[in-house]
Amino acid sequence: MLMKSQAHMKTSLVISTYNWTEALELVLKSVLKQQVIPTEIIIADDGSKMNTKTLIDTYKSKFRIPVHHVWQEDSGFRKSMIINKAVAKAQGDYIIQVDGDCILHPSFIKDHLRYARQGVYLSGCRVSIKEAYLERLFKTQKIRFNVFSKGIKKRGRALHLPVLSTFYKESNGFNLKNRGCNMSFSREDFIAVNGYNEDFEGWGREDSELGRRFYNYGLLNRRLKNIAIVYHIYHYEKPKDKLDENHQMEVDAVKNKTVWCNHGIDKYLSE
């Protein structure tokens, strides 16, 4: 089913964050430079301190679109919950989701909307910014990169060639590369599977389990190669003490062909 045309589609950009204002500021700067601006921005904040709110309030005046700050108390890694709360608040027909440590290519929003439609979820490209480059990155406030830029790895992914993206078609198979740092979907499809499973606490597998339920629901997927690029700022890995438990929940979703999660977005939709 086709959605509204790009010109009339309401788009919500959801940015997840937690206590890293230096990175979030670069992400917001990169949103300001987008060739296509979303209808609204929603910062999904998993319990950051007051300096994050101060930064967001500063940037609200720089945008001509609404910038919403959805915050929850810090009680460990609860990304599934805060994304659900953000999408419940969203006014957009279409959700584009990124992490607050991923700088956006100038055509990032435009690239996602190029292939946006109901019944399909999209996943874009991620280029890594090296740890050794962080001091220079934050000192220069750099938000523009290309395949020849210093400080990046997996640089082949930085090649922005929209014509090549046309060779990658929609698929009815499961997308192993689906990541919450660079994905998009119709809000209606997200609600149909009850969004993220909030039984996931602690890092790991919440994105892929959502992808499993998208697949079980019958959604197609499309990988956005050579377009929809983010530049992921290096950070130390989060604790993986819940990874085995979370992995088992994904395994269960496959085994049981689960579509609907019991603890999801539905409880926020009536608020």
pLDDT one-digit tens code per residue, 131-160 = 999 999 999 999 999 999 999 998 999 999
| pLDDT value at 219 more than 90 | yes
CA separation for the pair 152, 52 (Å, rounded):
26
* CATH architecture type of domain 11-268: Alpha-Beta Complex (3.90)
The closest of 142, 108, 141, 113 to 125, measured between CA atoms, is: 108
Q: Helix 206-217 and helix 243-255: axis angle, to 10°?
A: 10
- Rounded-to-5 percentages of helix, strand, coil across the chain: 35, 20, 45
The closest of 108, 138, 261, 102 to 195, measured between CA atoms, is: 261
Phi, psi (5° rounding) for residue 105? -60, 145
Q: What are the sequence ranges of the domains in the chain?
A: 11-268
> Counting every residue, how long is the chain?
271
pTM: predicted TM-score of the whole model, two decimal places: 0.95
DSSP string across 12-68: EEEEEE-S-HHHHHHHHHHHHT-SS--SEEEEEESS--HHHHHHHHHHHTT-SS-EE
pLDDT one-digit tens code per residue, 220-237 = 999 999 999 999 999 887
More confident residue, 143 or 271: 143
